[in-house]
A and B are shown apart, each in its own frame.
Chain A
């Protein structure tokens, strides 16, 4: 039975931060908080804190840009799982990658 290596990327923002927007900011957060942890041969769960209520598509596309460049959309769901405040937000973040 193949063992799946699992990693967690817990994102941190200021306590007062409830919304995330901006492509450059997304890239910056990826560089500082996720890039060194992500293992493209493992299953990585990116966890947005519960204080985050909304995430703009610009942030999503900036944050996940390098991941998409490396593995493409087809392998994305295999390598990255998204956890957020609620299922609706998780789905929105996932869909915003595509468009």
Chain B
């Protein structure tokens, strides 16, 4: 009985000693890919996210019930799309996601320029903020490795 238990324990130890390094290599590679994506994201989007995007958002203002000042934000969004091209080949999931988020915000901003009621203006500005938060959230999730890295 003791021999059987000892044999089983020895076998388990052997299996663990074989599987353990394989797991270590797998997780190490996965972590490296996530880290690489995070590094590239920081390099590619750092200044845009912490400076350009918030500044462009502040340019939006109301003039005689017409929302104005969206051009700078549209320009920043174009820049984000252009820089995302790198990820088209390296991380298609991220590329398609950020492309979709950006274009939804662009389409929303195109509603500005015509006279609006106070309620419509409030809704427009709230929705704009939500879209921008979505973009930041999406970038954070990718930075933290929450999306599959290809």
Contact = CB atoms under 8 A, between A and B. Distances in A.
A58 interface: yes
A54 B77 CA distance: 14
Interface stretch (B30-38, B105-113, B115-123, B135-143): B105-113
Interface residues of B, number: 11
A92 interface: yes
A56 B85 contact: no
Contacts of A19: 110, 113
Contact of B84 (A21, A92, A99): A99
A56 B107 contact: yes
Contacts, number: 31
A8 to B, nearest CB: 26
A57 interface: yes
A58 B84 contact: no
A22 to B, nearest CB: 6
A54 B110 contact: yes
Size bin of chain A's contact surface: 10 to 19
Interface string A52-66: 001011100000000
Contacts of B78: 57, 92, 95-96
Given A19-B110, A21-B110, A56 B82 contact: no
Interface string B65-108: 00000000010001001101100000000000000000100110
Interface of B: 74, 78, 81-82, 84-85, 103, 106-107, 110, 113
27 contacts: A18-B113, A19-B110, A21-B107, A21-B110, A22-B107, A23-B103, A54-B74, A54-B110, A56-B103, A56-B106, A56-B110, A57-B78, A57-B81, A57-B106, A58-B103, A58-B106, A58-B107, A92-B78, A95-B78, A95-B82, A96-B78, A98-B82, A98-B85, A99-B81, A99-B82, A99-B84, A99-B85
